[in-house]
Each structure stands twice: as structure tokens, then as C-alpha cells.
Structure 1
Amino acid sequence: LQITEGLQIHKKFNISYGSRFRHSTRICLERIREAMLHHRWQEAAEYMVFYPQKLEGSEIEYRQNRELIWRISIELLHHMPNSKLEDYNNIHERMKHLGVKIYLKVSLEQSFHLMLCGQIEEAKQLLAIGESWRYGKESASQHQTAKLIQAYRSLLDYVIWCDKKFTLDDTDMHSYFRQASVHLKEIFKNPGVWDPFIVSYVEMLEFYDDHEEALKILNDYAYDDTFPPNPNAHVFLYQYLKRRGASDKKLTKVLKVKQQIQKKGDIKKALGIVMDMLDFACWRKELEVWRSLNDIIGKLNSGYEHDTTPPDCQTLAEM
């Protein structure tokens, strides 16, 4: 009703169609957001039926808002009591065909939902299709998503390998291992945080007694400077060395590096909190905040050679 009244007002004062269109779609979207905020899912769903229809009046607006339509639709399905897997798949498939730029992103999230529903083989097949999908020039965002699709498809090979390693013969088992390992090794050439993929790959390598490769992968993940600092990488290395009966000296060395990385991260977190506080005029008059900033800068400049204990982040947040 409010949307209709808004259109009538615009017509009365001879406001352009473009302005009327933007106003009506904005009102509709506001109603959807308000209903979702207050968990009135049925009401939001009713508005959502109307919203894409309004956007179809402008190809540009529709193209720009396709991802928004997809995200809201999936969120509403999560909260509708009678939602079925088929409903999710219908939305995902429709959005993939309507928006080629988000095809890979939709495929990846659709596979996640299939995994949650226990449809592992179907999810793997979907990711395999996404992995081979090409359309025009690949953007940086699409390239990153493509790498994730490749990684998760390999992870599903690992999941299937785990599920069937005591029921399949050695040849079939090794086939799943080979598929997963080839792609995972390729993924690990890209710097990033690959924790679940590293752990899965190392487990398979240990199963086949390839300890040399397992140690190399873990060492590269922990100490390669092209990868972001990651305390978990050193935890994985420590756990592996402990399983292999490494000396206390080796284990202690790994833990020391992990501790340094964690403290460095804590100092950066404390710096972020202090800088956020200093954005507000009321905190700029507080001497304690400036002292904390001075301490943090001192630790950053010293390279953590002496006192590496950062200011208490919780204390800063509560000041």
C-alpha cells in the first residue's frame, strides 16, 4: 500500500519515471530489511516476491542488485519452516544463469549447502562444473573464487577418501588421494590461510607413510615468508613433530616462533583499538590512551626483542 501511495504522489507532482522507480524499489527494500530485522520472515518473503519484479523495470538496476536478491532469498529460505533443498537449488540455479559475474560465487555457496545436507558427491560434481566454467575475461575476484572452488573440490576428495578408506580397495582409495593431492599441492602455491586443507593433506600423506612430503608441506606453510603469519601453521608442525617423536628442543623452537607470532598479532590488535579510540575527540584528552599508544609504538620499533607483552586489549576496550 505504501509503495502504491508513493507512486501516486510522484505521478501527482509529475516526477520522472526514473525517480518514481528508484523511490518505490527503495521503499520495498526498506520494508524487506525492516521485516528481516524483526524476524518477520513471512512478511519479508511477501515483499521479496514484489522486489525483483520492480527491478525488472530497469535492466541496470536489476543487474546491479542480483547478488542482493540472491542473498536475501537464501536468508529467507533459512528461516522458512517448509524450505526444501529443491528450493535452494532452484534459487541458486536461477541466479547462476542470470548473473555470470557471480556464477562462481553462487556455485561455491550452493556446494556449501549441499555439504551441510550431506550431499557430498553432488557438491563435488557441482564444484567440478564450476572449476571448468569460463566466461569472458576472469576478474581478480573470480580468480580467487575459482581457487577456492578448486580447493574445496579437493577437500571433498579427502572427505570421500576418509569415508571409504576402509571399504574401498587400495586402487580406488589411491585414486581419491591422487585427485586430492594434485590439486591441493597446486593450491598451496598460492599464499594464504589454508588450515583445513593442510591438515587434510598431511593426514593422507601420513596414512601412506610419506613423512618427507608431510614435513616439507608443514615447514613451508609455517616458515615461507610469502604466506601470512599464522600461529596455526606452527601448531600443525608441532603436533606432527610430536607424533613423530621429535626432541624437546625441536618442539620448543616451534612453540617459541608460534608465541612470537601470537604476540605480534596481539600488539597489532591493541594498536587498532587505540587508533579507533583516538578517532573520538573525548579520548584524545585521555593521557592513558596516549601512553598506551606510545608503549605499542615502542614495542613495534623494538622488534619485540625485549618485553613482548602487549597492552591488555580488553582493558583498552573498556577504558
Structure 2
Amino acid sequence: MRILVLGGTAFLSAEIARQAVEAGHEVTCLARGSSTSPPDGVTWVRSDRAAGAAAFAEIDGRWDEVVDVSRDPVQARVALDVLGPSAAHWTFVSSCSVYADHSVPDADENAALLEPLPEGQAGTPETYGESKSAIEQMTLAAVGEKAHIVRAGLIGGPGDGTDRYGYWPARFAANTDTVLVPDIPDEATQIIDVRDLAAWILQSAEEGLTGIYNALGEVVRFEDYIAESQRAVGTPDVVVPDVDWLVQHGVEYWSGPDSLPLWLPSGHDGFQTRSNRAARERGMVLRPWQDTLAATLEDERARGLDRERKAGLSRETERRLVALWQLEQR
């Protein structure tokens, strides 16, 4: 197959390109490459999609598959206008953030969506879900009969630049000081391994699969995920404050600075428990979640357990909170 990846230098898009080359496909990546390069074996067209249609000046011919992971509706529109007519199959990697309601467990692809951003409005981090919703809508309108829309959940595994899933195994592996863990043993986690997601996207392209699918991992209790993270490296001392205490002391949910990754506010019972049945029925294969965790820990060690992270508590903040919690328990 002749495959064009719009991206190819970061995490999922890079893994798609790598697996496609390994499978013997002819792969082109269109990317700026401002910090990293695409995998070996691809044809790299260095271009910035902010340039509009001019960004595709060096792209020509027909494509058996185009993969777009964009979060900017303006850039996605240009790609559809320029490349849509010459693509036999089009994969858009969307997100389960397009859903309007995150409170209902086991919801499937028919759940209500957020209102899409108005045509012509650029996406921002604050409008991520609305941006993806808008791109879904325009993709279906432009290439609907050949579109595969992949609503990914939280993606984990080697190379994850968000630092969320890897925070906990890396924190236990560092084995320094006492670890602060939220008291949410029965809360759900639902991670899909980047390698499994990339493999299914390529398989679907080869088979010509179209339609809309949730691409999600299996549901794993937070307590089990934490226990496995500890088992892999030993068991440092932990404290387990209740969630109200954490909120009162300024700890953030989910991701970002001074957060506890994978911890969600109330009303999000369905956020990490969505149905993946449709994708599983169409060939999506998931490795055991313990394998993903082990590979993530190996990657975290290689990147440095004490590096500055995009998600999680800083050591200074964690020490302060642990000391305060222990003082209050006396």
C-alpha cells in the first residue's frame, strides 16, 4: 500500500509509520520535524500544515491510505480538500473526548457528541473535544464512504509524551520517600497500548474498514494497576489520603503539573469505562495490560525516572503533602 501519514514524528503517528514500514508498505510522512524525525524507511516531506494548501505542494499521486491525527479543524479541512479526492481510504484518529456525557459506564459509539467548533475556527487545548467533533463531521462530509474514524481513549505505552500512564510505575521505581496515592481503589483505568492501536489502524486500512469505532483498552481497577506497578519494583511506603483532602490542598485531577494522573472528579464514571466491543469485533487485538505496564516502565527507566514530567506531583510538592497528611493523622 501507498500510505501517507500526516505526522509521523510523535507517539501514535510515529508508531503507525514504523509498523507500516515494517509491514512492507510505501510510507510518506508529512511533518515539521521540529523536535524529532520520522522512523527510518519513510519518505519524509518536511512541511508545516500551518501554511495551508501550500504545505502539500510536494505531495502528489493517489494514496491507498491517508492517516490524519490532527486536532486543528482548520488544518484538517485543508487536508481533506487537497487529499480527499486522491485517497482510497482515510483514517482520522479522533478521541473519546468528543462525547458530551462522561457519566455513563459502557456507553458505545451512539452516545451524544459535543457540538463541533464552527467552521473556520481553529482549535485550542481548551476546545479539544469540540475540535475533534468538528473534524469528524467534516471528514464524514468529505470522504464519508471511505472514512475510518477511530475514537481513541487514553493511549499509553513506550514513547508516551503526556507522562500520565507512566507516572505511577516510574514513581514507585524511583523508590524515594513516601508515595502519595489517592484513595480510589475501585475507580477504573482504561488504557490502549499505542502499539495495539497502530496495528489495528493499519489492519483496518488494509481491509478497507470504514465507520466509527471506540478504540479503547480493557477496564482495569486503579487498585490493581497500582498493585502491579508496585509489584514490578518493590513496595515503597505509601500514604492514601481521601480525595476531599487532596482537592482541599490543591492537587489537580488527571494530568498536568501537581496532579495525580488517572484520578478523575466525580461525574466521570463512564470516562474510562466506555465500550470497545465494536472494535474488538472488527479485529482489534489487545495485549495483556500488564505487558503494557512493563513496557512503559522500561521506557520510563530509559528516559530517566527523575526527569521533569508533564504530569504528576513534583517531589517537593509530594513531600510537603505527605508530611502534612501524616501530621494531621497523629
Using the size of structure 2 for normalisation, the TM-score is 0.23
Q: Larger RCO: Structure 1 or Structure 2 (Cα < 8 Å, ≥ 6 residues apart)?
A: 2
Using the size of structure 1 for normalisation, the TM-score is 0.24
Which structure dedicates a bigger proportion of its chain to strand?
2
**Bigger Rg, which one:** 1
